[in-house]
Chains A and B, each alone.
Chain A
Amino acid sequence: MPLLPFLFITGFFFIYPILRVIIFSFQSNEGSFTFSNYETVFTFPYNQGLIGSIKIGLYSAVIAAIPGAIIAYFVESHASLRFKRIIAALNGVIANTGGLPLAFMFIAAIGKNGAITKILKSIGFDIYAGNFALGTFNGVLLVYLYFQIPLMVIVFSPAIGILRRELRESAASLGASTRQFWLRIAAPLLAPSFLGCLLLLFASGFSAYATANALTVGNVLLTPLQIAGLLNGNVSASQLNLGKALATMMIVVSGLAVVPYLIIQRRVARWKSV
Chain B
Amino acid sequence: MEVSVNTFTGKRILFFTTAIYFALIFIPLISATEYTFKTSVKGSYSWNNYRWVFEQSEFTHYVLRSFWIAGLSVIVSLLILIPLQTWLAISQSKWRSFVEVVSLFPLIIPVVAFAIGAQVAMPLFVQDSVLELPFLYAMLSLPYTYRAIDIGLSAIPIKTLYEASMISGATWPKTILRVILPNTRTAVLASSALGFALCIGEFTLTSLLHWDTFPTWINDVSQDSVLGAITLSVISLLIPIVIIALFAFLLTKGKEKNE
Contact = CB atoms under 8 A, between A and B. Distances in A.
Interface of A: 1-3, 5-6, 9-10, 13-18, 20-21, 24, 67, 70-71, 74-75, 77-79, 82, 85-87, 89-90, 92-94, 96-110, 114-116, 146, 149-150, 168-169, 171-172, 176-178, 181, 203, 206-207, 209-210, 214, 223-224, 227-228, 231-232, 243-244, 247-248, 250-251, 254-255, 258-259, 262
Interface in B25-64: 25, 27-29, 31-32, 34-36
Contacts of A15: 105
B156 interface: no
28 contacts: A3-B95, A9-B80, A14-B114, A16-B121, A87-B18, A90-B244, A93-B197, A93-B244, A97-B237, A98-B201, A100-B233, A101-B236, A103-B233, A105-B28, A108-B35, A115-B34, A115-B35, A116-B28, A168-B3, A169-B3, A172-B1, A178-B1, A203-B110, A209-B110, A209-B204, A214-B222, A224-B110, A247-B116
Contacts of B109: 18, 251, 254
B120 A24 contact: yes
Given A78-B7, A105-B234, A99 B112 contact: no
Interface of chain A: mostly helix, strand, loop or mixed:
helix
Interface stretch (B163-171, B177-185, B248-256): B248-256
Contacts of A71: 17-18, 21
A105 B226 CA distance: 11
Contact of B229 (A74, A104, A251): A104
A100 B32 CA distance: 13
A248 B112 CA distance: 10
Interface residues of B, number: 83
B204 A109 contact: no
Nearest to B222: A100
A2 B91 CA distance: 12
Interface string B96-126: 0001001011111111111111111110000
Contacts of A259: 108
Contact of A108 (B104, B106, B230, B252): B230
Contacts of B25: 90, 94, 146, 150
Contact of A114 (B31, B108, B201, B219): B31
B14 A106 contact: no
A4 B172 CA distance: 19
A93 to B, nearest CB: 4
Max chain A Cβ within 10 angstroms of own Cβ: one of B113, B119, B247: B113
Given A13-B135, A21-B116, A172-B1, A2 B201 contact: no
Given A74-B14, A98-B201, A99-B204, A207 B3 contact: no
Given A85-B251, A209-B204, A224-B110, A20 B233 contact: no
B112 A18 contact: no
A169 B1 CA distance: 9
Given A78-B7, A99-B215, A105 B201 contact: no
B117 A224 contact: no
Given A96-B201, A97-B237, A247-B116, A70 B17 contact: yes
B242 to A, nearest CB: 10
Contacts of B32: 104-106, 108-109, 115
B187 interface: no
Contacts of B138: 9, 13
A25 B135 CA distance: 25
B157 interface: no
A206 B112 CA distance: 11
Contacts of A169: 3
A116 B215 CA distance: 25
Given A101-B236, A207-B112, A250-B113, A74 B35 contact: no
Nearest to A67: B21
Contacts of A103: 233
A2 B96 CA distance: 12
Contact of A109 (B1, B31, B232): B31
B255 A82 contact: yes
Given A3-B87, A3-B95, A74-B13, A210 B203 contact: yes
A70 B84 CA distance: 38
A210 B204 contact: yes
A85 B215 CA distance: 28
B26 to A, nearest CB: 10
